[in-house]
Structure 1
């Protein structure tokens, strides 16, 4: 069984009870608020036990499900405009009046997010962290710094993720290496004379080994978006998954939200790679000795379960010399990571300056006698 949409399809908006304007979620709080009159509506976060679903059963069910729609038509309740959300977006703004809209994912994705981490860091704090991060970059082009200090705008996005639990049992074969030393004679020339000396040389004695290790993995986190490179989203970890709350549309109001683009099965293949790295460390410890070689490793997975959830990031993009560089800020911790351009002019002048300094030191050394030929 997989988690399904539990509400009627259609766009959700959250009007203010006082003035009728639309409310949006305020990072770091448990309420949505009106940007005009300041009225707030509380959200009671549900931090109850979150269900995890059987992975194999879900794959069977998904294989029998009809294809998901590629686009969905949404109607804005404020201006009555109808427009299409792309299939991987289910929260954003009306392109005609800017109204924040949260759309159900029932027609475009078969597995629904049942939990999320709400935004804790607001845009101003995220932008301050972004600028501080840029200030530490060596050889960044001046246009990037001007962009950060001027027109830079961050977009708040909920990114889809999978988590996987799995019990693993691994059988391995390999070799245990024991380091030992032998004495070795060699001939060298000292003061014009050939002399024989002895030195210690390291050797490794390899012994065949075989065995098995077991480990249970809990909440192996895998990104389910293709909009941002995995190396960037992985680098803003860790996430405080112990603070997950049950999914509520109100947390998405005022933000973009993506539906998963990496499927459940594909995500598990990535999780297997993550788990395999840990298992290999377990095997190396089990082999023991001074060195280890793993010649074969076979792992069986059982009791595999999953969750589908959303995590918050602030995202920005900068175009430099025809290439787009992306930056993200962890919406919980404020940690910044991203791609970065380099200024070739700054690198050239830095190298030129270093060469000049070395030349001056060399000339000074020759004149003072510190350097002799």
Structure 2
């Protein structure tokens, strides 16, 4: 079912504390609103229920999405990296949450896509910092002083927009399959000036053509709608439990930052299709079997394509080590950590030398056994 093009125009709302009037923010421990000043708590009612699957038309254009976020937002643009985020109106940002640059400019009314579903933060800022500290201690090639020190990072809780896609697929394939066979051959060699005969097992490959079909369904192919993050880092954070999705409520964003959608639904589907094609090739190769494959051809039809748009919680940190910038991320739901960290040239050199030494010893032992 397609989303209606008419945007909802409900008046923006705030979240004042009924006790002291202070601004309430989302609290990861209670999963509700909590006053920063008097500690009063307020539950959040999830009225939207389960997220809806919307039909996706590959041939049609992008439809207008709802844009009312339930609270007035302003867009912030970074001159250095081009990143754009949404923060509540009236709030100021002095540094970019993507690259740490202090050059950020307000952009006024964002008019951006409002998500339908959200997974609220369950990991607090202090827990995210502790998880990174534990994570880096397990990394072998980090400098020892970096592993021991507390990293001073600008840690921001960000809701990153995602698309998810479902689809049914039907593929037909053909390929040449190579199967290994073995035979015993007689050879000669010279040992201590004398020619001797010996036998050796030789491998050869027999090729034959095969073809077939393969059907498979995909559920919730997760695609970031962010254009300002390292894809490899986000991919490692992809263990979100989407069964815990809540209907979008503006209260979940209180005290956090939301990134604008910068990847269109059509571009998101192309990325999802590329991921699905890769999975299909791997599985079809496994189904065909054999020892080698060549000239593999796969033609896939996609049908019953649906999508959802949602916000997922990520703690993002930018920091420097010896004047060089680095970044790490923590999954705000599961606590999974991914990051770019400094490497110790000395440790890498010793590891490389050790590998070369082991390889040299193995080669020497093999040559001695072959000569005997």
How many Å apart are 1:265 and its aligned residue?
A: 1.2
Partner of 1:121: 123
Gaps of at least 5 residues in structure 1 are: 69-73, 77-82, 98-104, 359-373
Stretch moving more, 280-289 or 302-311: 280-289
> Quick one: distance in 1 between partners of 2:307 and 2:253?
22
Aligned Cα RMSD in Å?
3.2
Partner of 2:87: 91
How many Å apart are 1:138 and its aligned residue?
A: 3.7
Runs of 4+ in 1 over 6 A off after TM superposition: none
SS of residue paired to 1:21:
coil
How many Å apart are 1:203 and its aligned residue?
A: 1.4
Equivalent positions of 1:66-77 (< 5 A) are none
> Quick one: distance in 2 between partners of 1:315 and 1:170?
39
How many Å apart are 1:158 and its aligned residue?
A: 0.5
Partner of 2:232: 231
> Quick one: distance in 2 between partners of 1:294 and 1:225?
36
SS of residue paired to 1:242:
helix
How many Å apart are 1:220 and its aligned residue?
A: 0.5
SS of residue paired to 1:311:
strand
Note closer, same or farther for the CA distance 1:169–1:135 as it changes in structure 2 (3 Å cut). same
Stretch moving more, 323-332 or 188-197: 188-197
> Quick one: distance in 2 between partners of 1:338 and 1:162?
23
Equivalent positions of 1:267-306 (< 5 A) are 267-306=268-307
Note closer, same or farther for the CA distance 1:343–1:15 as it changes in structure 2 (3 Å cut). same
Partner of 1:100: none
> Quick one: distance in 1 between partners of 2:49 and 2:300?
33
Partner of 2:16: 15
SS of residue paired to 2:252:
helix
Match of 2:111 among 108, 111, 124: 108
SS of residue paired to 2:57:
helix
> Quick one: distance in 2 between partners of 1:197 and 1:139?
48
Note closer, same or farther for the CA distance 1:208–1:106 as it changes in structure 2 (3 Å cut). farther
TM-score (norm 2): 0.78
Tell me the alpha carbon deviations over residues 208-240 of structure 1, each in whole angstroms, 9 at most, x when there is no partner. Answer: 112221111110011111221110010122110
Gaps of at least 5 residues in structure 2 are: 78-82, 95-107, 358-372
Equivalent positions of 1:194-213 (< 5 A) are 194-213=195-214
Note closer, same or farther for the CA distance 1:172–1:139 as it changes in structure 2 (3 Å cut). closer
TM-score (norm 1): 0.78
How many Å apart are 1:245 and its aligned residue?
A: 0.7
The answer to whether the 8 A contact 2:174-2:211 is kept is yes
SS of residue paired to 1:278:
helix
> Quick one: distance in 2 between partners of 1:306 and 1:75?
26
Equivalent positions of 1:174-185 (< 5 A) are 174-185=175-186
Partner of 1:361: none
Tell me the alpha carbon deviations over residues 159-216 of structure 1, each in whole angstroms, 9 at most, x when there is no partner. Answer: 1111001111112111122221112222123344211111111112111112221111
Partner of 2:137: 135
SS of residue paired to 1:324:
strand
Partner of 2:152: 151
> Quick one: distance in 1 between partners of 2:244 and 2:302?
27
How many Å apart are 1:134 and its aligned residue?
A: 2.2
